Structure 1
């Protein structure tokens, strides 16, 4: 039986979400700046995915196993501890950019940053655009 993805696009206002969910003024400022930049870099409006992920564009993926679903091309979440940036694809282009990004921690497919001033925004732009290009060419990829 196919499983339903838990994180799907919603109709909730991204501006309302940031205003009500984010408790730090600096994180609110950074959230609105990230939203503006990711909209510009992706060419897509911000949409809320699930309860806390702000995504841009849509990527439909399908694995060899038959599992398939939709996810944003790039996204972020203004979590309490740090921003979760969903802008990384596991390829040589993305890997080579990490050394130029600045101060961050890496999860499996997620980059964690405390604040935007900790990272190089032009490198983040390259990561975002590279990930969008990679996902558009690789429908089997979900991260």
Structure 2
């Protein structure tokens, strides 16, 4: 990741409702964390396909040792076109190489059935549901885990 690409994503990627929930500008804390290199975790990558910015992947090891928590996103013009599974499979392959056998966790907004189907399709399982304050409100989330096996 570079600061220029991080700002391009944070400032310009705008999703249609209800996915505008994921716009980086929807939450000032998330925005600041995403654009400041000193806030980047173990993994902070831009994902390109044929030279074009396709998405991003970020991750950090959890303090309690439960694995690697990731966040990711695809360019808004590419969502809803059946590309999510290949994107996830490529990210998982890279993570397996970088941190073999490490459980991988992610949190997804409970309303995002499209993403949940994609995550389950590549082997993530639901761990728990919880509520979290973000984007000026309180929202339901699902924590999911992938065991990190091939």
Interval containing the TM-score (normalised by the shorter chain): 0.3 to 0.5
Instruction: Return the structure number with greater strand share.
Output: 2
Q: TM-score, structure 1 length as denominator?
A: 0.36
Higher relative contact order (CA 8 A, sep 6+): 1
Q: TM-score, structure 2 length as denominator?
A: 0.35
